[in-house]
Amino acid sequence: MRVPKMVLMVVGLSLVLWAANAEFADTIKLDTGGLRRANFPSGFIFGTASSAYQVEGMADKAGRGPSIWDVFAKIPGIIAENATAEVTVDQYHRYKEDIDIMKHLNFDAYRFSISWSRIFPEGTGKINWEGVAYYNRLIDYMLKRGITPFANLYHYDLPQELEDRYMGLLSDKVVKDYADYADFCFKTFGDRVKNWYTFNEPRVTSALGYDNGFFAPGRCSKAFGNCTAGNSATEPYIATHNLILAHAAAVQRYREKYQKTQKGRIGILLDFVWYEPLTRGIKDQYAAQRARDFHIGWFIHPLTYGEYPKTMQEIVGDRLPKFTEDQVKLVKGSFDYLGINQYTSYYMYAPHTPPKALGYQEDWHVGFAYSKNGVPIGPKANSYWLYNVPWGMYKALMYVKDRYQNPTVILSENGMDDPGNVTIPEGLYDTTRINYYRNYIRQMKKAIDDGANVIGYFAWSIVDNFEWRSGYTSRFGIVYIDWKNNLKRIPKLSAYWFRQILSSVTN
């Protein structure tokens, strides 16, 4: 097959040093769809995101203790091709290179996560000062390069010691232990970090960790997965209750002890798939609303109104924990801003068969559809769950605006993946990813124009990395990682697209 001239140009451009190709890169003119930095409100933040476990490496070195993902990933067959995150992209050693790339691409900020077990190897007690020193180096270099740090305190990676000691998120003991860990981070890094998040996608932690067992710690009822232990009818709800209380306890610590002097802000990162009714029928309308309530409502409703959504209370009944009066006061309003991770959308319909057993996903009482009248909801990316549906971005943001008092929002994750085995020329010539970003960002801008209080956007991800169960068979990065050549970073065409729209020069 003949390789297009543009592909060859991009490969040639990318395989040389950044300093040597900067002027040449600026000659590439890409279709921005009319997007440019000047279109957005003053102070609007553009950044990229990653998580500690997916990019750092040094998983069993430099004093870091194991997390539940280290143990889970060692189960044969759990991770595609039995991959591990022991090295991944080695950002622990190569953070300067990655930050320099962000700076060159004109990004304003980096949303990273702190590994709890790198700070407290046993979850509590002894501090690993070598880990503290790493995050100090990372934060200091970001600031040196003019990149604003956005720190997330938890991205799926509970210290394994706490899982062993008291079953982790299933015990209310985790609330204080997490708040103590967060307190240490505020005290240690808060003089430089002014943007904090407590948890990334806690719904995923509860649903995939305790309902179907697909993520660590891999617990579920026998009816829903090949788990050795668990109860899908109760454990997802218990885990979420403790996650919400841990979040609120950390926010309370920050507000009472640090916020006034450090002058920062704190929130939580929630994933939100947009659920569109399959038909105009009332049953499908109700199904879509149940899905929204059980998905984002599970967290944002208590944080806004002090209770779980009524639909959840009615369906789940006594299996759903209740907040005490004191807990309501702690939880309600416990955020300065929200992160919304938005990737895809699905059609929802009223199911034709009853649930097979009690469980979180079964409690939704919905059916999923990915096409309507034979037409797919959108083109499919590499991941089985990811369809390209830009209009879902607009609807998701407007839903949060209208139903939850128009909170301040950061669009904290958005992106799509290619297969892990894509060749360098094919991987670098990622026009499909450019189209994805262009169309989603335009829909975000439409929501902003219609009153949604969105103040920033973070692309997922800066580099290809360890993609959980998919290992290295999935590439979300705007920078290609050459796994066979010393983890060489090679910017993709999408990286130059962002550089172009984020330039201070009018396009």
**56, 161, 362, 413: the active-site residue:** 413
DSSP assignment of 242-297: HHHHHHHHHHHHHHHHTHHHH--EEEEEEE--EEEESSSSHHHHHHHHHHHIIIII
Q: Residue 52: name the closest of 34, 73, 67, 41 by CA.
A: 67
Burial category of 62 from C-beta neighbours within 10 Å (exposed 0-12, middle 13-18, buried 19 and up):
middle
Distance, in Å, from the CA atom of 232 to the CA atom of 223, rounded to the nearest integer, reads 9
**How far lies 492's CA from each of 116, 147, 434, 455, in Å?**
32, 21, 10, 26
> Are 400 and 443 contacting, i.e. CB atoms less than 8 angstroms apart?
no
Residue 307 annotated to the active site: no
Distance, in Å, from the CA atom of 197 to the CA atom of 268, rounded to the nearest integer, reads 5
Q: Give the angle 358-361-365 at the CA atoms, nearest 5°.
A: 80
Burial category of 147 from C-beta neighbours within 10 Å (exposed 0-12, middle 13-18, buried 19 and up):
buried
**How far lies 410's CA from each of 8, 48, 161, 192, 337, in Å?**
36, 12, 33, 20, 7
DSSP 8-state class, residue 44: -
Distance, in Å, from the CA atom of 453 to the CA atom of 460, rounded to the nearest integer, reads 21
Residue 413 annotated to the active site: yes
Strand order in the sheet with 345-349: 274-277, 345-349, 367-369
User: According to the 3-state scheme, what is the secondary structure of 400-449?
Assistant: HHHHCCCCCEEEEECCCCEECCCCHHHHHCCHHHHHHHHHHHHHHHHHHH
**56, 161, 163, 201: the active-site residue:** 201
Look up tokens 């796994």; give the residue. Answer: 483
Q: What is the CA radius of gyration of the chain?
A: 22
**How far lies 413's CA from each of 107, 410, 441, 461, in Å?**
14, 9, 12, 8
> Are 55 and 465 contacting, i.e. CB atoms less than 8 angstroms apart?
yes
Q: What is the largest CA-CA distance in the chain?
A: 68
Q: Residue 109: name the closest of 14, 197, 233 by CA.
A: 197
- Is residue 182 left, alpha or beta, with left meaning phi > 0 and alpha meaning psi from -120 to 50? alpha
Element (H, E) at 233: none
Nearby residues of 280 by Cβ (< 8 Å), 6 or more positions away: none
Beta-strand (E) ranges in 97-232? Answer: 109-113, 148-152, 195-200
Q: Which residues are catalytic?
A: 201, 413
